[in-house]
Amino acid sequence: MKIRNKKFIYLISPNKIINNLFYNNLNLVFKSKKVKFFQLRLKKGNIKKKVLIAKRILKICKKNNVKLIINDNPYLATKVNADGCHLGQNDMDISQAKKILKNKIIGVTCHNSIKLAKYASSNGANYIALGAFYKTRTKKVIHRANIKTLKKIKKSVKIPVVAIGGINHKNYKKLLLNKADFLAISGYIWNNKKFKPYQAIKNLT
């Protein structure tokens, strides 16, 4: 299955961005023309530092026609004029976030729940994220999703579905074949012991 010309990757940042090498790698990864969204996911650090990082990344995103999504924080997304914000189930409610973000993109984590997916969709989310589909070291896995869940939710909502959790070059095609709209990938790109980031993304053909 050749999907080389389609932007199917929802790339998530590493938890820490510590030097210029990251920005160089990000630019090279974007050159693959496979990344549609880039989520900045920094759990630690003060807001000032996050703003500086986000603004620098936004320039790289714009140059490569990639949408910048800020994790958890609608105020930060607005402050840096990102394209949108991603909300977890413990974050701000969609209705409140929409007042802050106006017409920006809102994504919502729905784990493996049809109920959460329908709620997000009916309340104005632009996409939902499901998972984890596979084992991952990026974050602690509490909820597991499978292909059956994916198929059910695809029939229940009309908005795009992003599959997340442990996705790599060995398992990604199964998710695409079962109609996942985008694949959220992080560890396989940034923490790959075998391939550099731009080499890793080339394996996702």
Segments making up each domain of the chain, as ranges: 9-202
Q: Which residues contact 135 (CB under 8 A, 6 or more apart)?
A: 141, 165, 166
Model confidence over 141-197: pLDDT tens digits? 677 899 999 999 999 999 999 999 999 999 999 999 999 999 999 999 999 999 999
In the prediction, which pLDDT does 138 show? 63
Cα–Cα distances (Å) from 31 to 13, 64, 144, in that order, read 16, 7, 32
In Å, the largest CA–CA distance within the chain is 44
In the prediction, which pLDDT does 1 show? 35
In the prediction, which pLDDT does 4 show? 39
Q: Which fold has domain 9-202?
A: TIM Barrel (3.20.20)
Confidence band, pLDDT 50/70/90 cuts, at residue 27? very high
Q: Which of 194, 179, 67, 193 is nearest to 130 (CA)?
A: 179
Does residue 18 surpass a pLDDT of 90?
A: no
Model confidence over 55-109: pLDDT tens digits? 999 999 999 999 999 999 999 999 999 999 999 999 999 999 999 999 999 999 9
In the prediction, which pLDDT does 32 show? 96
Does residue 5 surpass a pLDDT of 50?
A: no
Confidence band, pLDDT 50/70/90 cuts, at residue 140? low
Q: pTM of this prediction?
A: 0.94
Does residue 2 surpass a pLDDT of 90?
A: no
- Percentage of residues of the chain with pLDDT beyond 70: 95
Match 């790959």 to its residue by tokens.
Answer: 192
In the prediction, which pLDDT does 131 show? 94
